[in-house]
Chains A and B, each alone.
Chain A
């Protein structure tokens, strides 16, 4: 079946603009995860959803970042008033979600965000 998809694959924006990144999980997967990899850095966990709720939002880098998930499927990561340090590859993953922290996660191809 189809894997995790993310859109757009690339996004170039100007500093101060808002951006929305979208993640479509594998059908039937109830858990969804967001990560980012900044240039030269490791993978950073941002947030995860079990169904439509996020148990802990403290991994989001600042209050300019928000994430939501509706209908237990698609998730959107929104970055308001983008800054150059937000430039990164944003990865999404999904899992079956019975026990989110021990599930095997399946990753999407990522969205490369460049803030000029």
Chain B
């Protein structure tokens, strides 16, 4: 079983603050990295799928970067809003058809 680590485990920010969190994964046998947002009482929602080293993706105020050589990805949220409150999960596909999830970063945006 591979370790996919996310930090911090939880985060409280004020509305309007920008924030970022980290996903660390094994740099060997990399195939793809996924980011999800999971709101309480809802299903996970896909944010990004990233495959190439140096890749950057953006969706509104949320963006992500990928470094496959050193095994990390950053998720950034610019100007956090209360509706951004959720758990953000990253997940790593290896070349062997297994998909490993991190334990998530729980974000609370305080109005």
Please give the residue numbers on chain A whose beta carbons come within 8 Å of chain B beta carbons, in ascending order.
33, 42-45, 48, 55-56, 58-59, 91, 93, 101-110
Contact A42 B44 (CB under 8 A): no
Contact A55 B101 (CB under 8 A): no
Known: A56-B96, A101-B32. A43 touches B49 (CB 8 A): no
A92 to chain B: closest residue by CB: B43
Contact B99 A48 (CB under 8 A): yes
Closest chain-B Cβ to A54's Cβ sits at a distance in Å of 9
Closest chain-A Cβ to B106's Cβ sits at a distance in Å of 12
Please give the residue numbers on chain B whose beta carbons come within 8 Å of chain A beta carbons, in ascending order.
31-32, 34, 43-46, 49, 51, 89, 91, 93, 96-104
Contact A58 B89 (CB under 8 A): no
B50 to chain A: closest residue by CB: A102
Docked CA distance A34–B58 (Å) = 27
B45's partner among A48, A55, A107 (CB-CB below 8 A) is A107
A-B contacts, 21 of them at CB < 8 A, read A33-B99, A42-B89, A42-B101, A42-B102, A42-B104, A43-B44, A44-B101, A45-B100, A45-B101, A56-B96, A59-B98, A59-B99, A93-B44, A101-B32, A102-B31, A102-B49, A103-B49, A104-B49, A107-B45, A108-B43, A110-B43
In addition to A45-B91, A102-B32, 18 A-B residue pairs with Cβ atoms within 8 Å of each other are A42-B89, A42-B101, A42-B104, A43-B89, A44-B101, A45-B98, A45-B101, A48-B97, A48-B99, A56-B97, A93-B44, A101-B99, A104-B46, A104-B49, A105-B46, A106-B46, A108-B43, A110-B43
B31's partner among A43, A101, A103, A110 (CB-CB below 8 A) is A101
